[in-house]
């Protein structure tokens, strides 16, 4: 852990001696990356549910987002329409780079919010991953053109600094110093997103132009920010912790790549900076008052030192991205204090603050996490917050190899992540409340942070289906796919076929070159075992249980840490079949959740259902009963093909009426803004 306060030196030294002793005595307990994700090239999705969506995202959404960042769209929100009328055009994020490239400074004009640069970089990151999976020369050419403009902007600055808002509007306040504020300016956030985009684009294409920009900028950051006499600044928005770490990891993994970079690569400084950004939160300077930084708030997780934080607080995207970075840093450094914080964050988030759809951040004011068990139906639940909570859960699983993390990851991807984007891939939700308030997906937003984040998750998804720990294979997600791995030096192909999430059948065909002994660890979802949430935040009336067969022979299903281990000498054509119980479940929240007391929601597999007035005109007065006779049926023509849940409820007069529920993520695709509900009052009989 990188700590710079002088007065702590003696204590730290003794702690280090002790820690070193402890580390060698118990080296196994040091956090590490147990599960490694597969590279994009190793996994190909071929799935009835995800492949059509991937097609829309790769052929429409990624172009849509770049076009809209360029200002090519018809505004459909009053704020944007008014802005267009005023400007005579829509905002164009790339003009900012061009202005800076032309040497403009302090003009007072900047298109879009200060984090517009960051959104461009995030879109490049998402697009890079999608490119790695679905090569598209036209898209690659387009991105190369954007990168030329970004690099030109950097070249205009002798230091290699690049943040167009600050250069054009607050040039004397880089990184939020001199009375500026990085929480607003997003200098460090934008820089972090640039680094991540550069790493992903390099991994996808082998091109180094953006990597050169990222290295030059990182080097400059390392000369400016850190222990005295450098500036004492932390990211106003979490995220750069994980992304600068990725830059470090790339050069650690591929040292010869440094020879292709035009600036010297100082990767150890990048890691030190990551740790400074984590450890400086909640520390406001030296004990003697020197090197001071204004104390800040939980909004950007600066209310107390990170390693003392026990709950996840503040702006939900900032908090979950920081948590992701802390987890990644724990695995990189082996520092148990970071791992401990990550575990505490996750327990608090998944156990007390996570909505049934995987939504995060109950409160609109400050886009914040609410207090424990504050889970109101009208909550804010920004798409970005849920997605970053997904990244956090995925990293936790890499660190702890426990299926409960993927259970919550899955809750996110099938619900609050997918609801963020329309079925046609060109409209987006910012907020995803559990009760419809007329909110409609929009073409573009004043703060369009969610579409790039959606692309990031879309691009990352294939990598998370499987994991590998050096000897055993983890099946984390049920997504039809072909994976190829090298296990103990030999090629092994795995073919997964499934009707998930509409059906509970999963088939894994294992094809090693020759007979090979290793373990397949198949995730058994908590919901399928009556554990709706690892901390009992939710419970259900599950009916049925998972059944597993190997080569047709039933096996006991007794998962440890969420994974069922099947260890054997595998030979070509061996088959594992899993059948998950998909009958609709009625889900209730823990009694501590006051806001949805005496209410029930419906789930089938990982999918949460909702009642839309399109199907249920008298929605407000329904009561749902455990004997509602819920049935699941697949409707190929509806909403691109979905299961619906039908059953009986009582209306306000006590009369029995039939209802239809559709997956939460499909809401608003038939009648934008149509009212809906997820939680229905519990009735006493049927």
Residues that bind ligand FUB (CB under 6 A): 115, 237, 317, 367, 382, 384, 447, 449
Which of Zn ion, ligand FUB, none does residue 601 bind to, with CB < 5 to 8 Å depending on kind? none
Identify the H or E element spanning 424.
none
Q: Which of 575, 386, 561 has its CA nearest to residue 469? A: 561
Q: Closest separation between CB of residue 369 and ligand FUB, Å?
A: 12
Say if CB 353 and CB 362 are below 8 A apart: yes
Question: Which among 151-159, 392-400, 443-451, 526-534 is the span making contact with Zn ion, rule CB under 5 A?
Answer: 443-451
Q: Closest separation between CB of residue 332 and ligand FUB, Å?
A: 24
Say if CB 417 and CB 457 are below 8 A apart: yes
Say whether 127 sits in a helix, a strand or coil: helix
Our CB check for ligand FUB shows the closer of 237 and 246 to be 237
Q: Closest separation between CB of residue 420 and Zn ion, Å?
A: 8
Applying the rule CB under 5 A, the residues between 538 and 597 that interact with Zn ion are none
CA distances from 611 to 541, 620, 622, 651, 675 (A): 20, 10, 10, 14, 9
Which of Zn ion, ligand FUB, none does residue 233 bind to, with CB < 5 to 8 Å depending on kind? none
Our CB check for Zn ion shows the closer of 384 and 603 to be 384
Our CB check for ligand FUB shows the closer of 133 and 382 to be 382
Our CB check for ligand FUB shows the closer of 165 and 538 to be 165
**What residue number has its CB nearest to Zn ion?**
384
Write out the E strands in 514-580: 516-523, 538-540, 547-550, 553-555, 563-570, 574-579
Question: Which among 60-68, 334-342, 380-388, 544-552 is the span making contact with Zn ion, rule CB under 5 A?
Answer: 380-388
Q: Closest separation between CB of residue 317 and ligand FUB, Å?
A: 4
Q: Which of 127, 151, 148, 125 has its CA nearest to residue 139? A: 127
- Measured in whole angstroms, how far is the alpha carbon of residue 341 from the centre of its chain? 18
Which of ligand FUB, Zn ion, none does residue 40 bind to, with CB < 5 to 8 Å depending on kind? none
Whether residue 212 has a cis bond before it, omega within 30° of 0: no
Q: Closest separation between CB of residue 344 and Zn ion, Å?
A: 25
Which of ligand FUB, Zn ion, none does residue 213 bind to, with CB < 5 to 8 Å depending on kind? none
Which of Zn ion, ligand FUB, none does residue 450 bind to, with CB < 5 to 8 Å depending on kind? Zn ion
Whether residue 229 has a cis bond before it, omega within 30° of 0: yes
Site string for Zn ion, 27-66 (x = CB under 5 A): ----------------------------------------
- The per-residue b/e assignment along 175-199, b for 16 or more CB within 10 angstroms, e otherwise, is bbbeebbbbbbbbbbbbbbbbbbbb
Q: Which of 627, 622, 626 has its CA nearest to residue 681? A: 622
Could you give the CA distance from residue 506 to residue 273 in angstroms, rounded to a whole number?
44
Which of ligand FUB, Zn ion, none does residue 547 bind to, with CB < 5 to 8 Å depending on kind? none
Q: Which of 484, 537, 481, 527 has its CA nearest to residue 504? A: 527
Q: Closest separation between CB of residue 451 and ligand FUB, Å?
A: 12
**Alpha carbon distance, N-terminus to C-terminus of the chain:** 60
Say if CB 160 and CB 220 are below 8 A apart: yes
Range list of H helices, 356-515: 383-400, 403-411, 418-419, 450-464
CA distances from 366 to 165, 318, 350, 377, 647 (A): 22, 11, 20, 18, 39
**What residue number has its CB nearest to ligand FUB?**
317
Our CB check for ligand FUB shows the closer of 299 and 468 to be 299
Our CB check for ligand FUB shows the closer of 367 and 402 to be 367
Question: Which among 63-71, 322-330, 448-456, 561-569 is the span making contact with Zn ion, rule CB under 5 A?
Answer: 448-456
Our CB check for ligand FUB shows the closer of 244 and 580 to be 244
Q: Closest separation between CB of residue 298 and ligand FUB, Å?
A: 15
- Using only C-alpha atoms, what is the Rg of the chain? 25
Task: Return the residue of 450, 566, 601, 662 that touches Zn ion, per CB under 5 A.
Answer: 450
The yes or no reply on residue 384 touching Zn ion (CB under 5 A) is yes
The yes or no reply on residue 389 touching Zn ion (CB under 5 A) is no
The yes or no reply on residue 449 touching Zn ion (CB under 5 A) is yes
Phi and psi at 515, nearest 5°, equal: -65, 135
Q: Closest separation between CB of residue 346 and Zn ion, Å?
A: 21
Could you give the CA distance from residue 452 to residue 245 in angstroms, rounded to a whole number?
21
Q: Closest separation between CB of residue 385 and ligand FUB, Å?
A: 7
Which of left, alpha, beta for 560 (phi over 0: left; psi -120 to 50: alpha)?
A: beta
Q: Which of 235, 239, 232 has its CA nearest to residue 194? A: 239
Q: Which of 48, 46, 45 has its CA nearest to residue 502? A: 48
Q: Closest separation between CB of residue 455 and ligand FUB, Å?
A: 14
Our CB check for ligand FUB shows the closer of 192 and 462 to be 192
Say whether 262 sits in a helix, a strand or coil: coil
Our CB check for ligand FUB shows the closer of 367 and 612 to be 367
Our CB check for ligand FUB shows the closer of 40 and 429 to be 429
Q: Closest separation between CB of residue 456 and ligand FUB, Å?
A: 12
Our CB check for ligand FUB shows the closer of 296 and 382 to be 382
Could you give the CA distance from residue 111 to residue 123 in angstroms, rounded to a whole number?
17
For the record, the structure tokens of 605 come out as: 């597999």
* Residue matched to tokens 């939700």: 429
Our CB check for Zn ion shows the closer of 342 and 449 to be 449
Question: Which among 164-172, 264-272, 283-291, 446-454 is the span making contact with Zn ion, rule CB under 5 A?
Answer: 446-454
Could you give the CA distance from residue 288 to residue 304 in angstroms, rounded to a whole number?
19
Residues in the chain: 686
Q: Closest separation between CB of residue 67 and Zn ion, Å?
A: 18
By CB under 5 A, the count of residues binding Zn ion is 4
Residues contributing to the site for Zn ion (CB under 5 A): 382, 384, 449-450
């Amino acid at each position: 852990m990188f700590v710079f306060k002088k007065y702590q030196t003696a204590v730290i030294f003794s702690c280090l001696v002790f820690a070193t002793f402890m580390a060698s005595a118990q080296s196994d307990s040091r956090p590490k990356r147990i599960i490694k994700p597969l590279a994009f090239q190793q996994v190909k999705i071929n799935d009835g549910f995800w492949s059509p969506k991937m097609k829309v995202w790769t052929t429409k959404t990624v172009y849509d987002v770049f076009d809209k960042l360029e200002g090519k769209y018809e505004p459909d929100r009053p704020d944007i329409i008014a802005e267009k009328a005023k400007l005579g055009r829509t905002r164009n994020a790339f003009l900012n780079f061009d202005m800076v490239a032309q040497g403009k400074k302090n003009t007072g004009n900047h298109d879009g919010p200060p984090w517009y640069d960051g959104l461009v970089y995030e879109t490049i990151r998402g697009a890079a991953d999608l490119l790695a999976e679905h090569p598209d020369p036209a898209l690659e050419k387009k991105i190369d053109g954007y990168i030329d403009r970004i690099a030109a902007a950097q070249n205009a600055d002798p230091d290699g600094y690049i943040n167009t808002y600050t250069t054009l509007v607050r040039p004397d306040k880089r990184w939020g110093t001199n009375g500026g504020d990085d929480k607003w300016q997003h200098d460090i956030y934008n820089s972090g997103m640039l680094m991540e985009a550069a790493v992903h684009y390099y991994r996808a294409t082998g091109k180094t132009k953006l990597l050169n920009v990222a290295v030059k900028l990182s080097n400059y950051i390392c000369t400016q920010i850190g222990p005295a006499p450098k500036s004492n600044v932390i990211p106003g928005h979490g995220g750069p912790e994980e992304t600068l770490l990725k830059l470090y990891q790339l050069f650690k993994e591929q040292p010869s790549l440094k020879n292709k970079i035009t600036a010297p690569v100082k990767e150890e400084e990048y890691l030190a900076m990551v740790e400074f950004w984590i450890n400086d939160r909640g520390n406001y300077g030296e004990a003697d008052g020197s090197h001071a930084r204004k104390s800040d708030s939980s909004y950007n997780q600066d209310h107390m030192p990170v390693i003392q934080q026990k709950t996840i607080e503040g702006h939900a995207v900032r908090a979950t991205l920081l948590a992701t970075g802390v987890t990644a840093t724990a695995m990189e450094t082996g520092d148990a204090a970071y791992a401990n914080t990550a575990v505490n964050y996750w327990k608090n988030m998944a156990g007390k603050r996570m909505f049934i759809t995987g939504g995060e951040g109950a409160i609109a004011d400050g886009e914040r996490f609410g207090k424990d068990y504050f889970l109101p139906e009208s909550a804010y639940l920004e798409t970005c917050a849920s997605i970053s909570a997904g990244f956090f859960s995925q990293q936790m699983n890499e660190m702890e190899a426990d299926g409960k993390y993927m259970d919550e990851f899955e809750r996110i991807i099938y619900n609050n992540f997918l609801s963020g984007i329309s079925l046609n891939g060109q409209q987006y939700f910012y907020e995803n409340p559990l009760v419809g308030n007329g909110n409609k997906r929009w073409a573009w937003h004043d703060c369009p942070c969610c579409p790039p984040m959606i692309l990031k998750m879309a691009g990352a998804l294939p990598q998370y289906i499987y994991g590998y720990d050096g000897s055993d294979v983890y099946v984390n997600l049920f997504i039809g796919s072909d994976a190829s791995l090298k296990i103990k030096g030999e090629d092994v192909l795995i073919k997964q076929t499934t009707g998930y999430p509409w059906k509970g059948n999963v088939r894994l065909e294992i094809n090693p070159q020759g007979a090979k002994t290793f373990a397949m660890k198949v995730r058994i979802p908590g919901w399928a075992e009556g554990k709706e949430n690892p901390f009992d935040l939710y419970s259900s009336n599950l009916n049925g249980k998972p059944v597993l067969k190997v080569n047709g022979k039933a096996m006991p299903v007794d998962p440890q840490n969420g994974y069922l281990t099947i260890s054997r000498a595998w030979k070509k054509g061996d088959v594992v079949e899993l059948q998950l119980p998909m009958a609709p479940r009625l889900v209730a929240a823990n009694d501590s959740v006051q806001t949805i007391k005496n209410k029930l929601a419906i789930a089938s597999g990982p999918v949460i259902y909702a009642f839309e007035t399109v199907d249920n005109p008298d929605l407000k007065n329904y009561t749902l009963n455990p004997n509602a006779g819920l049935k699941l049926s697949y409707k190929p023509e509806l909403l691109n093909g979905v299961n619906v849940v039908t059953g009986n409820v009582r209306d306000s007069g006590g009369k029995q009426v039939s209802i239809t529920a559709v997956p939460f993520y499909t809401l608003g695709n038939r009648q934008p803004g149509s009212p809906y509900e997820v939680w229905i009052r519990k009735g006493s009989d049927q």
